Amino acid sequence: MLLAYIDEIGEPGAFVAPEHPRFNTSPAFGYGGFVIPEDYAREFGAIFQREKNALFAAEVREADHPGRWERKGAQIFRPATPTKYPEQLRVFDHLVRTVHEHGGQLFYYADEKPLGTDRQTSLDPARREAEAMQETLNRLARHADTHGQNMMVIIDQINEKTRAERLPNMYGHILGRAAGHQEMRRIIEPPMHVDSQLSANIQFADWVAACVGRAFDYQLISSSRYEWVTDESALRQVRGSFTHESKLHLWQRSVSDLHHSEVFNRSRRLFPTPRGQVLGLSIDPDAGRKMRAIAEKSMR
């Protein structure tokens, strides 16, 4: 059996631009993490815990509960990480290689958000979450079926109210889709929620999700500060480590979606001109964003 550990990439709220005073968090939303054979999951968790404790030894010693201390991926993958904390990237790269060497793979699925405020995009956060989770489950099931394995999906803990709201939808999707798509039978239960403080593997899934989120930022935002994620000297092992089913679904673009390791390519499909010569640079950025939001609204 395979175990898939996943966490959210970004958040489901509206997005306008990094400089916007309110809608500035993430240009895409979805889920990311890793898949690993069940007989190696516990061993990898121990390896992750050991590497994390060595990397952040001072913080762990000062924690009230050292065994439950965690470092969020968003704190690791920052614009200045390669120059200020390169050892964190070396440890992450080592952990990715360890997963891959033992039959595991990284995974992600996310949808690019249409640009605009809540009102401009008629945003329904619950629907955005549900659709991203459904497609995540579809692709994980396909991966499990390709390998002739059943799968359990484990996701970071959320509050009880939200869990109670989401669980019937996830369970209904798995059962309903199984009638016409036999691969859905590979997922034997709806996703199980686990507190990340108690699961080293969920913590690593959070690191993977954060890393992939930075790659999305680079691919989708022309002024992104995360070009360094495309540097093989910083993140060598991520290339070739993703499942075939990993995908960034673009919103009404004239270019194709991005799959598996393509999100870490230095060249960008949305901004194909040489660096520093982005097409449309003469247009005021705010005006350009407003024009695009209006165009997307009219298309909807």
User: pLDDT per residue over 98-128, tens digit each?
Assistant: 999 999 999 999 999 999 999 999 989 899 9
Name the one residue in this structure whose structure tokens are 């499909």. 269
pLDDT digits (tens, 9 = 90+) for 152-196: 999 988 766 776 777 888 889 998 998 899 999 999 988 999 999
Give this prediction's pTM: 0.90
**Under a CB-based contact definition with an 8 Å cutoff, are residues 206 and 73 in contact?**
yes
Label residue 271 by pLDDT band (50, 70, 90): very high
More confident residue, 157 or 255: 255
Query: How many other C-beta atoms can be found within 10 angstroms of the C-beta atom of residue 60?
Result: 18
Q: How much is the pLDDT for 298? A: 56
Name the one residue in this structure whose structure tokens are 């060598």. 236
Report the distance separating Cα 221 and Cα 53, nearest Å: 34
